[in-house]
Structure 1
Amino acid sequence: MLVVTTEKIPGQEFEVLGLVKGSTIQCKNIGRDIGSSFKNLVGGEMKSYVEMMNQARDIAYERMVQDAARFPADAIVAMRFATSSIAQGAAEVMAYGTAVKFK
Structure 2
Amino acid sequence: MILVNTDFITGKELETISIVKGSTIHSKHIGKDILSGFKTIVGGELKAYTEMMEEARAIATKRMVQEAEKLGADAVINVRYATSAVMQGAAEVIVYGTAVKFK
Confirm or deny a common fold (TM above 0.5).
yes
Correspondence list, 1:29-44, <5 A: 29-44=29-44
* Aligned-partner Cα distance in 1 for 2:89–2:21: 23
**Cα shift readout 1:3-60 (whole Å, capped 9, x = no counterpart):** 1111011111111001000000000101100000000111000000000000000000
Alignment RMSD, CA only? 0.5
Q: Indicate whether 1:10 and 2:25 are aligned.
A: no
* Aligned-partner Cα distance in 1 for 2:23–2:73: 19
Percent same amino acid at aligned positions?
58
**What does residue 52 of structure 1 align with?**
52
- State the number of aligned residues: 103
The CA deviation at 1:93 is 0.3
Which structure 2 segments of 5+ residues have no match?
none
Q: TM-score, normalised by structure 1?
A: 0.98
The CA deviation at 1:71 is 0.9
Moved over 4 A (4+): none
Q: Which amino acid in structure 2 is aligned with residue 26 of structure 1?
A: H
Correspondence list, 1:75-90, <5 A: 75-90=75-90
**Cα shift readout 1:42-88 (whole Å, capped 9, x = no counterpart):** 10000000000000000000000001011110100000111000000
Q: Which amino acid in structure 1 is aligned with residue 8 of structure 2?
A: K
Which structure 1 segments of 5+ residues have no match?
none
